[in-house]
Amino acid sequence: MLSQDQKAFYEGNGYLKVEQVVTPAELAELQQVTDDLIDTSRQISESDERFDLDSGHSAEQPRLTRIKLPHKQHPVYDRILKRSKVTQVLNDLLGPDTVLNTAKLNCKAPGGGAAVEWHQDWAFYPATNDSLLAFGLMLEDVTEANGPLMVIPGSHKGPVLSHHANGTFCGAINPDDPLFDRDRIVTLTGKAGDMTVHHVRLLHGSAPNRSDRARKILFYECASADAWPLLGGSSYIHSLGQRKFWADFQDRMITGTPCFTPRLEQVPVTLPLPPAPDNTSIFKTQTSGGAKSAFA
Ligand SMILES: O=C(O)CCC(=O)C(=O)O
């Protein structure tokens, strides 16, 4: 699926955009299922295990920051990861044995949908090696105005910056950190059906949605099967007992064979502890953990 040039680009820059990775029929199905789920959220007035609500959410006007664990809410999200061109991109970048750590559908509601402060995913979920990446499949067109993902090319090869504020894990870097080089920011816009890939150590963030159109990106956080998590910032997998973990793990294998002898690499790790007062999502971690905003 990917050319040698695309693989080399990912290796050097830590990110990649793959155009039209899903077929029009797959995209239409994903959009329909997502719209139906958003419709269901009209029935609730507080965030729950399925939805994170944005301020201003109401039955008349549903506003979500996130659909949680979409692959557990409808099989189409699981199928796209396990049996589509997305799967081929994954194998091209991580090899034959791959596992899903988690998935989320970040919806930035029109007119203010929350920013995601600059961070490296690695700070949330360090592992025995850093063969991990996140896909961002665009379910709507993403423009400069509706809160696109922004990245710092090559930062996956640099240091892991502090994601603590006042001694607490706040899930974001300090925008005044001298190692944060705003001049090198690249913005990843695209059409519905395009997909971004970012390495687990790449610095990235996204601005609020300043447009009148929703921004819906389906994120899959994937790993090589030999990269075992040390501690996830807030992932449900760490609260499962061994038997439930095992059953869940079988569902999370994407391709190939599980690996029970983790590859241990010399990687920089700071555990995401102590946790922020509310660590139920990245938005809550950053807000309640006292992260300084780069977008204020
Ligand atoms: O939704 C976004 O723009 C970025 C999301 C992200 O980086 C994350 O959830 O880790």
> What is the pLDDT at residue 232?
65
CA distance 209 to 218: 16
Whether residue 234 has pLDDT greater than 80: no
State the virtual CA torsion across 33, 36, 37, 40 in degrees, nearest 10: -160
Q: Quick one: how far is CA 156 from the chain centroid?
A: 15
| Lowest mean per-residue pLDDT among 62-76, 160-174, 214-228, 233-247 | 233-247
Rounded to the nearest angstrom, the distance between the alpha carbon of 243 and the centre of ligand 1 is: 30
Average pLDDT of the chain, as a whole number: 95
Is residue 117's pLDDT more than 80?
A: yes
* Distance from residue 142's CA to the centre of ligand 1 (Å): 14
Please report the domains of the chain, with CATH numbers, ordered by start residue.
4-288 (2.60.120.620)
pLDDT of 236 > 90? The answer is no
Average pLDDT of the segment spanning 214-224: 97
Task: Quickly tell me which residue has 């040390």 as its tokens.
Answer: 230
Give the binding-site residues of ligand 1, using a 6 Å CB cut-off: 106, 116, 121, 149, 204, 206, 217, 219, 282
Confidence bin at 114 (pLDDT 50/70/90): confident
**pLDDT (0 to 100) of residue 237:** 84
Q: Residue 105 in 3-state DSSP? A: strand
Q: Which of 219, 220, 287 to mutate to test the pocket of ligand 1 (most atoms within 8 A of CB)?
A: 219
- Cα–Cα distance measured from residue 118 to residue 206, given in angstroms and rounded to the nearest whole number: 7
Mutate to test the pocket of ligand 1, among 124, 151, 200, 282 (most ligand atoms within 8 A of CB): 282
What is the CA(106)–ligand 1 centre distance, in A? 7
Q: Give residue-wise pLDDT tens across range 18-46.
A: 999 999 999 999 999 999 999 999 999 99
- The three-point CA angle 272-13-191 to 5° equals 95
- Site to substitute for ligand 1 among 195, 206, 216, 281, most atoms within 8 A of C-beta: 206
Reply yes or no on whether the pLDDT at 233 is more than 80. no
Cβ contacts of 179 within 8 Å, gap of 6 or more: 158, 159, 161
Q: Distance from the CA of 261 to the center of ligand 1, in angstroms?
A: 30
Give the closest residue (by CA) to ligand 1 atom 1: 106
* Per-residue pLDDT at 243 exceeds 70: yes
Q: Whose CA is nearest to atom 5 of ligand 1?
A: 116
Dig out the tokens for 285 from the structure: 């971690």
What is the rounded distance in angstroms from the CA atom of residue 29 to the CA atom of residue 23? 10
Structure-block tokens of residue 170: 């706040």
The atom number, within ligand 1, closest to the CA of 108 reads 1
H or E element: which one contains 68? strand 64-68
Of 108, 37, 77, 38, nearest to 283 (Cα)? 108
Residue 113 confidence (pLDDT): 80
